Each structure stands twice: as structure tokens, then as C-alpha cells.
């Protein structure tokens, strides 16, 4: 393809292949940087020249970080940006976010999300039986191990909501969150990320199990002692402690963290929930919700 | 550039521009998929044909997910992969991970990291003064608000380690972790991700403040009551509760979660740490470490 750059006069806009070269549209961020969100298709050569001119412009303005968001439809622009010194910051299925740092100093751009988050659900009925499952997939498939329903907390999902959802999906049981019993942090899991796993205590609101066929091989109510006596639970130090914590909870000898969602007035646009030990009655019961 | 595909005989390897077209090197994953890690430069046309042939081959083999890891040096291959139906799974500064799902069903590939993780450190000396700072940047810059040292938990870093590190970096004070007092989950923060913020109690091991000049405008020991009485603390519901929790902790009327790192034998290659309420002495003191 022919590339022609013309500079008819000092004040005129440069052109390539008949397309005008503009400074890219950018919004200021709160940290002295700019955010560029590319939306429309653009010739890669035009983009190359526009990006180069734009970086010079932002450098003159004293800008620091440059964020460049490229939707997956504009994958043809990735190579151009990388050649000009952008690096990958993060990606989601529909876009890639690249970053560039103008000052000579080390960059202070915030890090990408660092943790996956998961839950395990201790759901106990009034016969002191807990809800257990065997899975169709994963490391415990075919081992005969009965385990607590577990799952992933999605972006934007409350820990308690995730526990309630997973129990419902896997076993058909409706439940409500009582407490976070413990949290385990592990490193070097999927793609080198870290993980936070919350052991949650739930109160069942229904009792007839309807297991999900795709993920769950079997589900039942099992006496807690039988669950805790499984050899794997005895062998794995943290599983063993979680079982001890559950046993203490069953005897009313344990206090975890309960949930206090922010009221709309105080949380602003952001949804948030505080989990803490309310044993000494810091908060009156009406303030506390199981979400 | 001229592209010539030749098929000299049925068993021979296809060639483009003199380069042979091979099925891409791939490792099996534990979920019936394959992982392709591109390392060496490759002509984009050769890659296009190789990838197409490889997908057909894996489809015949009944494979499910395909992971394609492209180092940033091979940004020229991103467009090719996207055109063949790959989407972005996640990215780190040095690479982009793309994914493809062969079956007709919805994909079951694990999600990208969903949460950032942060800490706030309550460091109290024996005069019931706590360590507070004013920041050079961020939303509280210039407001006169005295706040707890806060910071980000990096990928691979223990929550307690992060609290100790941030306190040392911002104020020069050495400290050790006592307990996680509370955890707050918030949604829709940086890049739409969720955040987990752990309020940590630390015991100071040194007392002379040497503040970091780049991030910290001022640092001092302040009576806890004065800290908690600041108007912002009163107004923000969660800050107010965290202050109440701290006050209860100071009066020995509160129990958070303490840390039990996994022993090497039980944790295998993965480093992990369990945090729970040890008020009832589930674990003997020797087992507990402040990391």
C-alpha cells in the first residue's frame, strides 16, 4: 500500500493516504495521565503516525502515563503500539489495555488484578449434617472424597452471594450467609496469580437436594464427624484446621466474621461489604444483614 | 511479500516462503485442552497456516480449550490469532494469553484474576498511639486527613508481609503482624475489577519514624482517640466501623483472624497461609507465627 505524507503548510494537518493525522482523542485521568479508547477502525499507518505525534504532544504537556484501550476488533493496531514502546497492562475477552510511561522515572501505574477468589460453603442442617458433594472434574474426581461445595467469586460478586449461588447451582439447596469462618491465601495458582479462599458458614433454607448433573457426581447430607474423618482431611494441614474450625462452630465455640453491607448513603456509587467479628456487639443486630 | 504454498506429496510437509508448515508445539493441560507457548519469531503467514492446521488437528483429537501465549515480542501474531477466532484471556506486561474453545458448548475455561487486594495497617505503641500518615497523592491529598498506612498486596505476597512492607516503606517503622481485624470487599474499582481490603493489626518493633518523601507528606504517632474523631472517619460508615473495631481491639474486646502458615510438608510446592479466630485455642501458640 502506498503511503504519502504531505505537509502543505506549517499549520495544516498532516495526511497519509488521504487520511488526516490528528492527535488522538484522550481523556485526562486523575493521576496526570491520559486515557485513549480507540473505537473506530483506522489505517495502521495512520495510527502509527497519529500515535507518535500524540505521544510528543502529551510529553510537551507534561503528561505521565498513557492508557491505550484497543477493542479486540482493532487487534491490527497492537503491533504498532508495542513497536512505539507500549506494554500490555491487562486484557479482558473484548479488549487489550496497553500502557506507556513518559517520565524518565519508574512508572507508578496501578497493578493489574492479582488474585482469584473462591469460596467453600459449610451448610449445616439441624441434625448436624453438612451438605457435601463429589465432583465430575478436577483433582478429586474419582477419589471418593466428599467435599464442601466450592466455587469462584466472580468480578463484581459479593463473597456471600457467590457461596449462596454455588450451593444452589450444585445442590439445589437455598441458603443464607451466616459468617466467614476463615480465609486462606495461596500463591502461584492459575497463570501465576494468587488466590484467596473464604470458608463460609451458611444456614440452609431448603433441604431437598437436586444435584447439578454436569459438574456434580453426587451430593448428600452427611454427619459432620464422618466428613471430618476422611483420610484426606486428616492429612492436609489446612483442611484439617478448617474442619476443626467447623467443629468448634457447630459447638458454638467459634466466631467468624459477619457481613455489614454499606448503606447506599455511605457507599456512594460503589457497592461494598465489611466482614468482621461482631461477638462483642459492636453493631446492633438490625444493622447486620446476611446480604 | 510473495506467498507460495506447495504440496509436493501427500505425506510431505507444506511450505510457505521456504518455511515448513508444522502443527504447533503444544502441551496437554489437565482439562482436555492444549497450551501453545510461542517463543521464536515466525513469519505471520506461516503462523496463520500453521495455526489453522493445528486447530483442525486438535479438533480431530477431541481437544477442548486452546491456550495461546504470545510474548510481547511477537505482537505481530496477535491479529492473526484473533482473525481465527481466539479471544483475549489475560495479559501481563511481557505477554498476552489468548484462548479458543473447540466444542460447540459454552466454554468452561477458568476466569482471569478478578480482585485487587489491599491492606491498611493499625500499628499501636504502648502509649496507645497509632502510626498515621498524610499522603502526597490520591484522594486525600491536601485534606489534612491522618490515615493508616495503606498499600497493595502484590501477586505472590502474603497479606501480612504486604502490611509489614508498606509500614516500613512509608514510615521506616519495623513491625510484625498480629491479626487481620476485618475485611472489606468493594466492586467496580480500577478497570471494573473488585477489591478486598484487609485491616491489619501490627505490633511495632521500632519507634523512630523516617518517612518516605516521594509518597508521604507527613507521618507521626497520634493518640487513637484523636485519629478516630476526625470528621471523615465519623462520616464514612465503614471507616467508622473499622475505627470502632480498632477501639475494641485496644480494649482487648475484639478477636480477629491470626495467621497459620502451612508447613512445607503439607503445602507441597504452593505457599499458603490460613487466617482464622484462635480465641478458643484451636491451635497451640507454637503453631502460630506472625509470618
**Chain B CA closest to residue A74:** B79
- The two beta strands, A34-37 and A65-71, are parallel
Average pLDDT of the segment spanning A53-82: 97
Q: Three-class SS string for chain A?
A: CCCCEECCCCCCCCEECCEECCCCCCEECCCCCEEEECCCCCCHHHHHHHHHHHHHHHHHCCCCEEEEEEEHHHHHHHHHHHHCCCEEEEEECCEEEEEEECCCCCCCCCCCCCEEEEEEEEEECCCCEEEEEEECCCCCCCCCCCECCEEECCCCCCHHHHHHHHHHHHHCCCEEEEEEEEEEEECCCHHHCEEEEEEEEEEECCCCCCCCCCCEEEEEEEEHHHHHCCHHHHHCHHHHHHHHHHHHHHCCCCCCEEEEECCHHHHCCCCEEEEECCCCCCCCHHHCCCC
Average pLDDT of the segment spanning B178-202: 93
Residue A180 pLDDT greater than 90, yes or no: yes
- pLDDT given for residue A241 in this prediction: 86
Residue B150 pLDDT greater than 70, yes or no: yes
Residue from the list A93, A248, A256 with its beta carbon closest to the beta carbon of B282? A248
- A207-221, B18-32, B35-49: which range is least confident on average? B18-32
Residue from the list A154, A254, A276 with its beta carbon closest to the beta carbon of B245? A276
Q: Is A115 close to B155, i.e. CB distance below 8 A? A: yes
User: Is CATH 3.40.630.30 what the domain over B3-101 is classified as, yes or no?
Assistant: yes
- pLDDT given for residue B279 in this prediction: 82
Q: Is B189 close to A270, i.e. CB distance below 8 A? A: yes
Residue B208 pLDDT greater than 60, yes or no: yes
Chain A nearest CA to B179, separation (Å): 12
Max mean pLDDT range (A134-148, B14-28, B193-207) = B193-207
Q: Residue A215's pLDDT band (boundaries 50, 70, 90)?
A: confident
- pLDDT given for residue A291 in this prediction: 39
Q: How far apart are CA B104 and CA B106, in angstroms?
A: 7
- pLDDT given for residue A136 in this prediction: 85
- A36-45, A88-97, B85-94, B248-257: which range is least confident on average? B248-257
Q: Is B245 close to A282, i.e. CB distance below 8 A? A: yes
List residues of A with catalytic annotation: 169
Chain B nearest CA to A98, separation (Å): 9
- B77-86, B172-181, B241-250: which range is least confident on average? B241-250
Chain A nearest CA to B11, separation (Å): 35
- pLDDT given for residue B13 in this prediction: 58
Chain A nearest CA to B260, separation (Å): 9
Distances (CA, A) of B129 to B71, B125, B132, B204, B248: 50, 6, 9, 11, 14
- pLDDT given for residue A8 in this prediction: 40
User: Is CATH 3.90.79.10 what the domain over B115-250 is classified as, yes or no?
Assistant: yes
Average pLDDT of the segment spanning B23-36: 93
Q: Which ipTM value was assigned to this complex?
A: 0.86
- pLDDT given for residue A264 in this prediction: 52
Average pLDDT of the segment spanning B32-41: 95
pLDDT tens digits for range A100-126: 999 999 998 988 899 999 999 999 999
- pLDDT given for residue B139 in this prediction: 78
What average pLDDT is seen over chain B?
87
Average pLDDT of the segment spanning A80-84: 97
| Chain B environment of A188 (Cβ under 8 Å) | 156, 269-271
Average pLDDT of the segment spanning B71-90: 97
pLDDT tens digits for range A132-166: 999 887 778 888 899 999 999 999 999 999 999 99
Average pLDDT of the segment spanning A1-19: 50
Q: What's the pTM value of the predicted model, to 2 decimals?
A: 0.86
Average pLDDT of the segment spanning B92-121: 94
What average pLDDT is seen over chain A?
87
- A71-75, A212-216, B51-55, B232-236: which range is least confident on average? B232-236
Q: Residue B277's pLDDT band (boundaries 50, 70, 90)?
A: very high
List residues of B with catalytic annotation: 169
pLDDT tens digits for range A260-283: 887 655 545 568 899 999 887 777
Q: How far apart are CA A154 and CA A129, in angstroms?
A: 28
Listed residue (B242, B276, B283) closest to B259, CA to CA: B276
Residue from the list B97, B193, B266 with its beta carbon closest to the beta carbon of A191? B97
| Chain B environment of A190 (Cβ under 8 Å) | 110
Burial class (CB in 10 A: 0-12, 13-18, 19+), B137: middle
| Chain B environment of A93 (Cβ under 8 Å) | 87-89
Domain positions in chain B are: 3-101, 115-250, 258-290
Average pLDDT of the segment spanning B15-23: 76
Amino acid at each position: 500500500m502506498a503511503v504519502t505524507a504531505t505537509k502543505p503548510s506549517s499549520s495544516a494537518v498532516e495526511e497519509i493516504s488521504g487520511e488526516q493525522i490528528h492527535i488522538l482523542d484522550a481523556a485526562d485521568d486523575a493521576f496526570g495521565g491520559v486515557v485513549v479508547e480507540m473505537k473506530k477502525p483506522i489505517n495502521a499507518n495512520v495510527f502509527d503516525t497519529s500515535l507518535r505525534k500524540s505521544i510528543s504532544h502529551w510529553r510537551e504537556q507534561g503528561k505521565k502515563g498513557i492508557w491505550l484501550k484497543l477493542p479486540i476488533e482493532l487487534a491490527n493496531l497492537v503491533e504498532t503500539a508495542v513497536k512505539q514502546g507500549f506494554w500490555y497492562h491487562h486484557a479482558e475477552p473484548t479488549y487489550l489495555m496497553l500502557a506507556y510511561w513518559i517520565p524518565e522515572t519508574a512508572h507508578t501505574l496501578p497493578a493489574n488484578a492479582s488474585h482469584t477468589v473462591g469460596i467453600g460453603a459449610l451448610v449445616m442442617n439441624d441434625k448436624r449434617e453438612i451438605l457435601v458433594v463429589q465432583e465430575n472434574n478436577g483433582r478429586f474426581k474419582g477419589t471418593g472424597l466428599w467435599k464442601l461445595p466450592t466455587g469462584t467469586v466472580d468480578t463484581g460478586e459479593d463473597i456471600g452471594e457467590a457461596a449462596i449461588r454455588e450451593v444452589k447451582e450444585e445442590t439445589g439447596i437455598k441458603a443464607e450467609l451466616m459468617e466467614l469462618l476463615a480465609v486462606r491465601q495461596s500463591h502461584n495458582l492459575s497463570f501465576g496469580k494468587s488466590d484467596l479462599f473464604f470458608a463460609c458458614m451458611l444456614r440452609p433454607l431448603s433441604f431437598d437436594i437436586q444435584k447439578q448433573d454436569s459438574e456434580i457426581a453426587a451430593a448428600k447430607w452427611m454427619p459432620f464427624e464422618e466428613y471430618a474423618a476422611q483420610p484426606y482431611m486428616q492429612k492436609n494441614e489446612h483442611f484439617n484446621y478448617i474442619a476443626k474450625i467447623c467443629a468448634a462452630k457447630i459447638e458454638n465455640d467459634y466466631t467468624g466474621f459477619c457481613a455489614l453491607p454499606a448503606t447506599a448513603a455511605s457507599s456512594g456509587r460503589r457497592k461494598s461489604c465489611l466482614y468482621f467479628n461482631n461477638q462483642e456487639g459492636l453493631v446492633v443486630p438490625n444493622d447486620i444483614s446476611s446480604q
